[in-house]
């Protein structure tokens, strides 16, 4: 184990990275990202590691970003916030080892993007997925504009992202959002079983296949740059401030389109 916000464990040739921020439902806060990026980099560099499992502590994958920071964020800070995610997404999607998400509980917002960036998604039947950005006046980031349409098609992806539709693990498996369905509280065990198969596969072939997927069908960097520019403006909007305040005050937001 290492780090207070990210727990690292090796089981044979599989490294488990656990987001350990349960007080915020494993939100992708600055401290979490500060530990998660080097932990992922170290796992990718470890010659004894052949596959990586990404999960969250205490029955929750990740409830998204740290909304408490959004109501006072200037555009330059917003752009940096999204760019900080880019490094981790590159590691997950362009690294040379398979990354398997083990999803229990919530996978919302940035946490949803994190799961969708993985090569294989194992989810409990009662897990919950939501591109919740619109609820606080934001567009999707975390690579979702690139990953989600590839998994479920443009039509379903558009609805999930524009309406913040909630999809459970069972429905997610039916529509292709989830690769392997598990019973509640057993997603990690199922993910480890799947990771063992990836660990046994030809590593260079896995790496080359991942590299090809990261370039198909559109350019990943173009989407990530678009996310950074668009989100930077939205994070400084009145609607985002209102959405963040409403979230923290547990009330419905009153968006005004500015």
pLDDT recorded at residue 218: 66
Cα-atom radius of gyration of the chain, to the nearest Å? 17
Task: Kindly give, in sequence order, each residue whose CB lies less than 8 Å from that of residue 82, ignoring residues fewer than 6 positions away.
Answer: 141, 224, 227, 228, 231, 232
Whether the per-residue pLDDT at 15 is higher than 60: the answer is yes
pLDDT recorded at residue 73: 65
pLDDT recorded at residue 3: 59
Predicted confidence band of residue 214 (pLDDT cuts 50, 70, 90): confident
Among 104, 189, 95, 89, smallest CA distance to 141 is for 89
Reported pTM: 0.88
Q: Tens digit of pLDDT for each residue in 115-170?
A: 999 999 999 999 999 999 999 899 999 999 999 999 999 999 999 999 999 999 99
Whether the per-residue pLDDT at 74 is higher than 80: the answer is no
Question: Residue range 209-225: average pLDDT?
Answer: 81
Question: Residue range 89-117: average pLDDT?
Answer: 96
Q: Which CATH class is domain 6-185+199-205?
A: alpha beta
In the chain, the percentage of residues whose pLDDT exceeds 90 is 67
pLDDT recorded at residue 84: 73
pLDDT recorded at residue 71: 60
pLDDT recorded at residue 235: 87
Chain centre to alpha carbon of residue 73? 22
pLDDT recorded at residue 232: 86
pLDDT recorded at residue 248: 92
Predicted confidence band of residue 69 (pLDDT cuts 50, 70, 90): low
pLDDT recorded at residue 94: 92
What mean pLDDT is reported for the chain? 91
In the chain, the percentage of residues whose pLDDT exceeds 70 is 95
pLDDT recorded at residue 66: 72
Predicted confidence band of residue 76 (pLDDT cuts 50, 70, 90): confident
pLDDT recorded at residue 198: 95
Whether the per-residue pLDDT at 231 is higher than 90: the answer is no
pLDDT recorded at residue 63: 94
pLDDT recorded at residue 82: 72
Per-domain boundaries in the chain = 6-185+199-205
Question: Residue range 227-232: average pLDDT?
Answer: 86
3-state SS, one letter per residue, for the chain = CCCCCEEEEEECCEEEEEECCHHHCCCCCHHHHHHHHHHHHHHHHCCCCCEEEEEECCCCCECCCCHHHHHHCCHHHHHHHHHHHHHHHHHHHHCCCEEEEEECCEEECHHHHHHHCCCEEEEECCCEEECHHHHHCCCCCCCHHHHHHHHHCHHHHHHHHHHCCEEEHHHHHHHCCCCEEECCCCHHHHHHHHHHHHHHCCHHHHHHHHHHHCCCCCCHHHHHHHHHHHHHHHHCCHHHHHHHHHHHHCCCCCCCCC
Q: Tens digit of pLDDT for each residue in 192-208?
A: 999 999 999 989 889 88
Cβ–Cβ under 8 Å, residues 9 and 16: yes
């Amino acid at each position: 184990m290492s780090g207070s916000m990210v727990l690292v464990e090796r089981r044979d040739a599989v490294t488990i990275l656990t987001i350990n921020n349960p007080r915020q439902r494993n939100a992708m806060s600055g401290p979490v990202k500060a530990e998660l990026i080097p932990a992922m980099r170290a796992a990718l560099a470890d010659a004894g590691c052949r596959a990586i499992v990404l999960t969250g502590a205490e029955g929750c994958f990740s409830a998204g970003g740290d909304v408490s920071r959004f109501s006072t964020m200037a555009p330059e800070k917003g752009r940096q916030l999204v760019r900080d995610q880019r490094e981790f997404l590159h590691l997950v999607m362009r690294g040379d080892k398979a990354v398997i998400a083990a999803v229990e509980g919530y996978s919302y917002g940035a946490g949803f993007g994190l799961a969708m960036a993985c090569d294989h998604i194992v989810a409990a039947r009662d897990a919950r997925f939501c591109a919740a950005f619109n609820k606080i006046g934001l567009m999707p980031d975390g690579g979702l504009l690139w990953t989600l349409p590839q998994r479920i098609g443009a039509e379903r992806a558009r609805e999930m992202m524009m309406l913040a539709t909630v999809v459970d693990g069972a429905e997610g498996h039916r529509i292709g959002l989830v690769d392997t369905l598990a019973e509640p509280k057993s997603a990690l065990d199922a993910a480890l079983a799947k990771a063992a198969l990836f660990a046994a596969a030809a590593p260079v072939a896995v790496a080359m296949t991942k590299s090809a997927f990261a370039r198909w069908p559109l350019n990943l960097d173009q989407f990530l740059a678009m996310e950074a520019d668009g989100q930077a403006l939205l994070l400084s909007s009145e609607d985002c401030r209102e959405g963040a305040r409403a979230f923290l005050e547990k009330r419905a937001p009153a968006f005004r389109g500015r």
